[in-house]
Copies of this chain bind each other. A is one copy, B any other.
Amino acid sequence: MTPQRLSVLDIIAARTGHIGADEVWNLAKEQHPYVDLATIYRTLQLLKSLGVVTEVVIGNKLHFEMADHHTRHNHMVCSVCDGVQTLTPDYLAEFSQRLEREFGFSPDLNNITIGGVCDRCRAVT
């Protein structure tokens, strides 16, 4: 645990929703002017592999948020407006159990994001 890593964690914890890697960087620089973006990314990947944060792909960018077990959820990202809706875990529960049972494959539920088109954008078309 280094000051840089603590900063990253603090920043994500302070945010209720998700936050982009670049935004984390900007905020981290306020405390450690010389942190490198690479360090941010490495820390983010580290925290993700530790299961502390969750990665969400929005548009072409990586976003992150706390992997709070009380509020675990998945995301639906609209490919038209990049809007995000959340999903409670039970939506994927049956599906993931089946993968586990039939293939021995352990899906990383924290990092499953469903792409598609939201109702509003579909109505516009």
Contact = CB atoms under 8 A, between A and B. Distances in A.
Interface of A: 76, 78-79, 85, 87, 91-92, 94-95, 98-99, 103-108, 111-112, 114-119, 122
B118 A108 contact: no
A87 to B, nearest CB: 8
Contacts of A116: 99, 105-108
Nearest to A83: B105
B114 A106 contact: no
B114 A107 contact: yes
What 3 A-B pairs have minimum CB-CB distances, sorted nearest first?
Answer: A104-B119, A107-B116, A108-B116
A9 to B, nearest CB: 22
A106 B95 contact: no
B92 A95 contact: yes
A103 B122 contact: no
